A = this chain, B = another copy of it.
């Protein structure tokens, strides 16, 4: 734990939201649900804001507002009724963030939202910190794309600048002469071309930064995707102590540069030459950090709540090794077998198991080798 030494009151307590206080959470999915549980453990209440009916987080929240993200009246009422606002996803409309800010602190800071909402801004920001990323070029039209392909070459990946997640809004270009087809496939939306990095592995660091500037990072996990969706996270990642330290320093640099408050997920490629390249950042709790619930004293959800409430961060050290496996779509129908399997089972309370939908996860822990 790196403590900045900044003290914002008696023992830092002046800036902290007292027990009984209310945290507003934009978004009522599984991340909001697990954040609500973490807040309750600390004696804090949550209020969920979510356009959809019966959000999973609603079952464990003190209050729910059902309204659209462009309903400025509802947003203002919501923010005025809580002590601090946070969110479970990065695609919060800029206008919504501005409306909320007029009534309550918004943590993490809206600048982190803006950057992570736009893949071009994100890449430029990270490069600006002297951190490696995959080669990239913005592609506003087909002509740009062809020029970018000439520079970066194939294989490469064309991604929409905005609103991509879980592999959506992405197309792999195996051959430079497939530019037209790829452009059609993303429907001509403003895009970015990224060079394909033949990485050994993807790892992620879940980092937290407190209101007084202290940073705590969890041990990096190693991620395996399937059909563009996270399948497993294994901790520890198979990396050397030096690479682990590099990963944590990269996370700390990003958190500090944004004057960040809360938890952030940072995905990195570990290249064959040992280099770490940042793939993307998510200004929120992250699927690849779910293992912390069972393997750490203070998990990523409680760490996020502590940060946004202005509390001291907790002990994020890992007491066990862990493997987290997502349950996607119909996989959650195996709940009875999984409950009997010796693993910790989590189900998100979603009624409909659509293909590709995250329905739950399981975590297995094992003793850390001595």
Contacts and interface: CB of A to CB of B under 8 A. Distances in A.
A174 interface: no
A22 to B, nearest CB: 10
Interface size class of A (residues with CB under 8 A): 35 or more
A60 interface: yes
A41 B37 contact: yes
B42 A336 contact: no
A312 B335 contact: no
A344 interface: yes
A59 B40 contact: yes
A294 interface: yes
A36 B365 CA distance: 24
Contacts of A43: 335, 346-349, 360
A115 B346 CA distance: 35
Interface in A350-370: 351, 360, 365, 367, 370
Given A19-B349, A311-B339, A339-B314, A59 B37 contact: no
Contacts of A37: 37, 40-41, 60
A97 interface: no
A150 interface: no
A294 B40 CA distance: 16
A340 B360 contact: no
Given A45-B349, A59-B62, A336 B40 contact: no
A196 B207 CA distance: 54
B16 A45 contact: no
Contacts of A311: 336, 339
A20 B351 contact: yes
A62 to B, nearest CB: 4
Contacts of A19: 332, 335, 347, 349
B36 A60 contact: yes
A73 interface: no
Which 4 A-B pairs give the minimum distances between C-beta atoms? Answer: A43-B347, A312-B340, A59-B62, A13-B336
19 contacts: A11-B337, A13-B336, A16-B336, A18-B335, A19-B332, A19-B349, A20-B351, A37-B37, A41-B345, A42-B346, A42-B347, A43-B347, A43-B360, A46-B59, A312-B336, A312-B340, A314-B342, A319-B320, A319-B367
Given A312-B339, A319-B365, 18 more contacts: A13-B336, A18-B335, A19-B332, A20-B351, A37-B37, A41-B346, A41-B347, A42-B345, A43-B335, A43-B347, A44-B349, A45-B59, A59-B61, A59-B62, A297-B343, A312-B336, A312-B340, A315-B343
